[in-house]
């Protein structure tokens, strides 16, 4: 789908650039490319030179020319062939040469110097990495990672609209699996049901999504742990099957943890569900503009401790979502920051039992002046399949 240029987003970035004395940004992380140009690349070889004044430059593969002209918000599109007979350098290095030449037309340049993670490109299978040559090509560049994080933390109306589509696809995929999950099926079989729906039905969703991908970790019964791979463990009647799920719809994401049970839920899990939902709902109620992210972390972890979690909850309990499934801000008791209107936050308290089993609950919430609005229509807690 062609999205209208989001001037609110772009002017926010330019205002931050002016405040920090930057004349241009040079980015290549796929999520930042999407954020600044609306173009989601195929191989992660893309680069963008985003000036404080003037037209951005998008560098992409010749094979993506049609897509770039259709989707990108800039008319300055420079092409790099996947193979060049007279130049043995790989395409990313030739893209770098173009980006560096354009950047020399500007003064102070900002790079993603401290980027820790990035979202995937459309092909997914071979995530791109930065070479030393990439950074060496911009001597004296400043770190713009924090600037981009600040800009992305508060979502525009268009970004929220796009995230709602990802949330709808994820929820519809859960409904699809709910009608088909059976005891004895493996976690991998269940994951395949969910992912097939996301990719098959989410692509083209409402005529508004060009490409949807699903990413999942499925844990059944005793397989519920802090982090374990999806495997051959069977779905067990009476015990939850946990879905740690992401959907990416044209570069915008959702991040949920949903739970299904076949048959009647065992009493121990029912008690845990009710107690963890109390912690979760208290955290949601706390998420209002101006609330301390450090206090949110302390508050939810105190609630988890009161339930009694034999295995430490080693993951965060709140983070941002947007052009990546996990992005700033992060709630941590030792870090500053506050909840702002327009943020989209994922809250995910959990309790893990010794030897396996337990529960995690997670959804995405848009922070409004009135409080937190849940974005997924699929229920929280443990939902009875069928």
pLDDT at 309 over 80: no
| pLDDT confidence of residue 63 | 96
3-state secondary structure of 111: strand
pLDDT of residue 310: 81
Domain with CATH 3.40.350.10 in the chain: 7-153
Q: What is the pLDDT of residues 78-110, one digit of tens each?
A: 999 999 999 999 999 999 999 999 999 999 999
Helices 187-202/157-178 angle, 10° precision: 130
**Nearest Cα residue to 28 out of 13, 12, 7, 43:** 43
φ, ψ at 355 (rounded to 5°): 85, 0
CATH 3.90.230.10 domain range(s) in the chain: 157-384
Quote the pLDDT of residue 341: 98
Instruction: Determine what percent of the chain is predicted with pLDDT higher than 70.
Output: 100
pTM above threshold 0.95? yes
Contact 243, 258 (CB under 8 A): yes
Report the distance separating Cα 37 and Cα 27, nearest Å: 11
Give the closest residue to 293 by CA, choosing from 342, 337, 340, 344.
337
Q: How confident is the model at residue 253 (pLDDT cuts 50, 70, 90)?
A: very high
How far is it, in rounded angstroms, from Cα 363 to Cα 254?
A: 8
pLDDT of 312 above 80: no
Q: Which of 23, 75, 80 is CA-nearest to residue 53? A: 23
1 has a pLDDT exceeding 80 = no
Burial class of residue 258 in the structure, from the number of CB atoms within 10 Å of its CB (0-12 exposed, 13-18 middle, 19+ buried) = buried
CA distances (Å), 151 to each of 35, 133, 230, in order?
10, 27, 35
Burial level of 170, CB count in 10 A (0-12/13-18/19+)? buried
pLDDT for position 2: 87
Phi, psi of 139 (to 5 degrees): -60, 135
Q: What confidence tier does 313 reach under pLDDT thresholds 50, 70, 90?
A: confident
By the 10 Å C-beta count (0-12 exposed, 13-18 middle, 19+ buried), 114 is classed as exposed
Q: For residue 163, what pLDDT is reported?
A: 98
pLDDT digits (tens, 9 = 90+) for 168-215: 999 999 999 999 999 999 999 999 999 999 999 999 999 999 999 999
Name the band, by pLDDT with cuts 50, 70 and 90, for residue 314.
Answer: confident
State how beta strands 212-220 and 241-249 pair.
antiparallel
pLDDT tier at 228, thresholds 50, 70, 90: confident
**pLDDT at residue 247, as a whole number:** 98
| pLDDT tens-digit map of 27-40 | 999 999 999 999 99
Tell me what the pLDDT averaged over the chain comes to.
96
Closest CA to 185 of 133, 254, 237: 237
Residue 127 banded pLDDT, cuts 50, 70, 90:
confident
DSSP alpha helix (H) spans, 20-156: 30-37, 65-71, 91-103, 132-136, 145-153
User: Is the CB of residue 261 less than 8 Å from the CB of residue 345?
Assistant: no
Answer yes or no: CATH 3.40.350.10 is held by domain 7-153: yes
Phi-psi bin for 266: left (phi > 0), alpha (psi -120 to 50), beta? beta
pLDDT tens by residue, 339-361: 999 999 999 999 999 999 999 99
pLDDT of residue 311: 81
Quote the pLDDT of residue 202.
98
Q: Of 351, 383, 380, give the one whose Cα is nearest residue 226.
A: 351
Between 1.10.3720.10, 3.90.230.10, 2.40.160.40, 3.40.1080.10, what CATH number should domain 157-384 receive?
A: 3.90.230.10
Helix orientation angle between 7-19 and 145-153, rounded to the nearest 10 degrees: 140
């Amino acid at each position: 789908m062609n999205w209208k240029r989001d001037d609110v987003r772009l002017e926010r970035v330019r205002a931050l650039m002016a405040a920090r004395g930057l004349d241009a940004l040079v980015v290549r992380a796929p999520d930042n490319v999407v954020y600044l140009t609306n173009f989601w690349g195929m191989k992660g070889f893309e680069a963008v030179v985003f000036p404080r004044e003037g037209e951005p430059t998008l560098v992409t593969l010749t094979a993506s020319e049609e897509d770039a002209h259709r989707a990108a918000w800039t008319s300055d599109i420079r092409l790099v062939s996947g193979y060049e007979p007279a130049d043995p350098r790989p395409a990313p290095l030739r893209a770098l040469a173009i980006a560096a030449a354009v950047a020399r037309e500007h003064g102070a340049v900002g790079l993603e110097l401290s980027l820790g993670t990035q979202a995937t490109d459309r092909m997914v299978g071979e995530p791109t990495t930065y070479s030393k040559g990439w950074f060496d090509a911009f001597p004296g560049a400043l770190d713009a990672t924090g600037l981009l994080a600040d800009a992305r933390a508060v979502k525009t109306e268009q970004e929220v609209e796009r995230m709602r589509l990802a949330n709808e696809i994820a929820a519809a995929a859960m409904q699809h699996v709910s009608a088909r999950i059976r005891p004895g099926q493996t976690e991998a079989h269940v994951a395949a049901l969910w992912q097939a729906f996301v990719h098959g039905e989410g692509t083209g969703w409402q005529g508004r999504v060009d490409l949807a991908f699903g990413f999942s970790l499925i844990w059944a019964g005793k397989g519920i742990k802090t982090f374990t791979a999806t495997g051959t463990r069977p779905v067990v009647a009476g015990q939850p099957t946990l879905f740690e799920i992401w959907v990416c719809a044209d570069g915008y994401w959702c991040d949920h943890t949903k739970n299904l049970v076949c048959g009647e839920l065992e009493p121990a899990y029912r008690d845990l569900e009710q107690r963890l939902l109390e912690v979760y709902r208290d955290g949601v109620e706390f998420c209002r503009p101006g609330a301390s992210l450090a206090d949110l972390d302390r508050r939810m972890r105190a609630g988890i401790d009161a339930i009694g979690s034999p295995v430490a909850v080693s993951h965060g309990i709140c983070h941002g979502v947007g052009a990546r499934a996990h992005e700033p801000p992060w709630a941590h008791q030792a870090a500053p920051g506050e909840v702002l209107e327009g943020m989209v936050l994922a809250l995910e308290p959990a309790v893990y039992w010794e030897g396996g089993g337990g529960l995690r609950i997670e959804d995405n919430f848009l922070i409004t002046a009135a409080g937190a609005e849940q974005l997924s229509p699929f229920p929280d807690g443990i939902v009875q399949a069928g």
